[in-house]
Structure 1
Amino acid sequence: MQIELSGHHIEVTDAMRNQVEEKLSRITKHFPSLTKISVFLTVERKEQSAELITQYMGAQVAVNAKELDMYAAVKSAAKKLEAALQHRKGALNANEKQKPAA
């Protein structure tokens, strides 16, 4: 899977890149059909945020997490992305299993 990492007001270091890859490795195991995740790291006054965007089963899935620490923001965003992908997968499976109208 391709991880596109960019930063706004921050220099993306190897440690940050490793942290992002480590946190997203679990998602790639559960959702092998994902081909690309875009990660945007932003530093603002008194808060740091991580935004993750991907395409899954024909829909764009995007999450955003803001924390005081960048590593905590990446961890929180990865958890949110996994939950959003699970929700999308469940919605698609529910649509397939709907009962026919009587």
Structure 2
Amino acid sequence: HHVELTDPLRNYVNEKFERLERHFDHVTDVHVVLSVEKLRHTAEATIHISGGKLFADSTNEDMYAAIDSLTDKLDRQIKKHKEKLTDHHRSEGAMKKQAPPLP
């Protein structure tokens, strides 16, 4: 069952995702789903970024804790994605430098 989004909950989600966007400014779209099944609160999100899509979900007895865990997971994924981009550009530049001059 989807959760009725109260203003405090909406503000909390927005605040958490703004923090993620500060770490990586190539976010093009964010889709968040909050649901409750018995006493299990689930938060899941799909983030579209340049070069791909990230997904994470988290379940907890407390919705705010589920959101915290969700954004922590996404933060780690974003950092990993940024490292891949940086490593890719770094190795690309290193290959250019190592290439012998053309005759």
Matches within 5 A, 1:1-102: 8-98=1-91, 100=95
Q: Percent identity?
A: 34
Deviation, 1:9, is: 3.1
Tell me which protein shows more strand as a share of its residues: 1
RMSD between aligned residues: 1.8
Give unpaired runs (5+ residues) of structure 2: none
2:2 and 2:33 in contact (8 A); partners too = no
Give unpaired runs (5+ residues) of structure 1: 1-7
Distance across 1 between alignment mates of 2:29 and 2:2: 23
2:29 and 2:49 in contact (8 A); partners too = no
Q: TM-score, normalised by structure 2?
A: 0.81
Distance across 2 between alignment mates of 1:65 and 1:55: 18
Q: TM-score, normalised by structure 1?
A: 0.82
Deviation, 1:51, is: 0.5
1:5-29 CA-partner distances (Å, limit 9, x unpaired): xxx4321111110110111121121
One-letter amino acid matched to 2:83: G
- How many equivalent residue pairs? 95
